[in-house]
Every structure is written in structure tokens, then in C-alpha cells.
């Protein structure tokens, strides 16, 4: 599914964000990426969906060497990777329905399929009644649910979630986690960067800990392990 082999990422200012990362994430895994601020978690995530490319090493996602992809092939790889951000990144002038549909329009899906699939994911995230609401009319938790619906609408094999509960209150955060668990149960691999040790220690999944750009722990059903 996802494999990194001796991956390094050095930015133009000389910062070594990742140093010799080697890891494999299999289909249907649920993995937390944890570690102190500045450890390299976000860079790790961005390499998976090709927002960044490695300085050295190889990254394979669904059989594609994403570090060496030609520009024209990047959209095809990204169709199988849904991304969820801490700050939602919904288009402010589009309704919830339109935000989700936009992800399918981008790959030129048929209109009938778009209508059926958008309604399906709105049902899954529990917001069918909010289909015609603009982002500003939704709570933070509702916006994140729409963001997740947008991420899964094209049936990706992988969801990359970068601090998806970071801007939410505790009660709302648990609701988002329950939703991500349900998506994982349906067969989607979840890779989630987080600082929330309560979530990691309660909903026990595989934990990959990164510190100073290196993996220092990779543990099945581990705990957070950092006292921040």
C-alpha cells in the first residue's frame, strides 16, 4: 500500500525534516503519526500525497513511485488519496453539497453519479440536512465532517488526516474520531497526524512516533508517549 525506503527530506534552508525514514503501511491500517512540534509529521504526510517530494529515497503509494511521478500523472495518484486538514479548507462560496461535488467534478464524473455519491457521503457523515448550507453557517465540527465527506467521495484507498481534531472541542473531536473509525472499518486506510494524546491513548491503533525527523517508535496499539 504505502512504503518508504530510506526517505530523506531536506528543505532549501538546510532543515532536515526527515532522516532515513523506512516504513510500510498496509491496506486497511489505522495509523497515528505522533511526536513533538517540528518533528517532521506534516512533512511525512505531505510526501504521501505528493505535496512534497523526497530529497533522497523512494516512496511507493499504491504501486506508484510518487517521488518520480511526471506532473501529468499526479492527479491520477491523488484520486486514491483523500486529504483532511485541520483548518477544513472548504470553499466559502459553495454549499456543503457543492464542496463535496467539486471533488468529483474535478475528475469529470457523470452528473448522476455525483448526485448519488454526494448524497451517500452526506448521509454517512450525518449532515444530509445541511447540504445547502454554506461553510460559514456550519459549526467547526460540521465543517470538518464536510471536509471528510469531500475526502472520501471518490472512494480513495487512503485518507491522510493532518490534525483533523486540532481546531475542535473535545466532544466534537470524539465524534470525528468515531467517523474516521467507521470509514476505516469500511476498508479505507487512515493515516492521522495528531497531538491529542487522549485520543491516541483511548482509541488504540498503530502508533508511529517521529522525533527530530526519525522514527523512534512503531508500535501496534501503542500509546502517545509524549508529554507535551
Residue 116, C-alpha cell as written in the block:
448519488
Mean pLDDT, rounded, for 53-72? 89
Spatial contact of 163 and 194, defined as CB atoms under 8 Å apart: yes
Give residue 219's pLDDT band: very low, low, confident or very high (50, 70, 90): very high
Q: What is the pLDDT of residue 71?
A: 80
Task: Tell me if residue 217 falls in helix, strand or coil.
Answer: strand
Prediction pTM value: 0.93
* Mean predicted lDDT score pLDDT of the chain: 93
Ranges of each domain in the chain: 28-51+80-219
Give the rounded percent of residues in the chain with a pLDDT score beyond 70: 99
Domain boundaries 28-51+80-219, corresponding CATH code: 3.40.50.300
pLDDT digits (tens, 9 = 90+) for 142-193: 999 999 999 999 999 999 999 999 989 999 999 999 999 999 999 999 999 9
The alpha carbon of 183 is separated from its chain's Cα centroid by a whole number of angstroms, namely: 12
> What's the DSSP call for residue 71?
G
The rounded distance, in Å, linking the Cα atoms of 183 and 163 is 17
The larger pLDDT score, comparing residue 71 to residue 202, is at 202
The pLDDT value given to residue 227: 64
Residue 49 clears pLDDT 80, i.e. is over it: yes
Query: Is the distance from CB of 192 to CB of 180 less than 8 angstroms?
Result: yes
Contact criterion met (CB below 8 Å) for 68 and 76 = no
Amino acid at each position: 500500500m504505502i512504503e518508504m525506503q530510506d526517505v530523506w527530506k531536506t528543505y532549501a534552508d538546510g532543515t532536515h525534516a526527515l532522516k532515513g525514514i523506512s516504513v510500510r503501511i498496509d491496506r486497511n491500517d489505522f495509523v497515528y503519526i505522533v511526536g513533538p512540534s517540528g518533528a517532521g509529521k506534516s512533512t511525512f504526510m505531505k510526501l504521501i500525497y505528493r505535496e512534497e517530494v523526497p530529497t533522497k529515497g523512494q516512496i511507493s503509494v499504491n504501486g506508484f513511485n510518487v517521488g518520480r511521478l511526471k506532473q501529468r500523472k499526479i492527479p491520477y495518484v491523488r484520486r486514491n488519496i483523500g486529504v483532511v486538514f485541520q483548518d477544513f479548507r472548504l470553499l466559502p462560496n459553495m454549499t456543503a453539497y457543492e464542496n463535496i461535488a467539486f471533488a468529483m467534478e474535478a475528475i469529470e464524473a457523470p452528473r448522476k453519479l455525483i448526485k448519488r455519491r454526494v448524497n451517500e457521503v452526506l448521509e454517512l457523515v450525518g449532515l444530509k440536512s445541511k447540504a445547502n448550507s454554506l461553510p460559514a453557517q456550519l459549526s467547526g465540527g460540521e465543517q470538518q465532517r464536510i471536509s471528510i465527506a469531500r475526502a472520501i467521495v471518490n472512494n480513495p484507498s487512503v485518507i491522510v488526516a493532518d490534525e483533523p481534531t486540532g481546531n475542535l472541542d473535545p466532544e466534537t473531536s470524539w465524534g470525528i474520531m468515531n467517523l474516521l473509525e467507521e470509514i476505516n472499518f469500511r476498508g479505507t486506510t487512515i493515516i492521522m497526524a495528531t497531538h491529542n494524546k487522549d485520543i491516541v491513548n483511548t482509541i488504540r491503533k498503530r502508533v508511529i512516533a517521529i522525533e527530530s525527523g526519525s522514527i523512534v517508535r512503531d508500535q501496534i496499539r501503542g500509546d502517545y508517549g509524549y508529554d507535551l
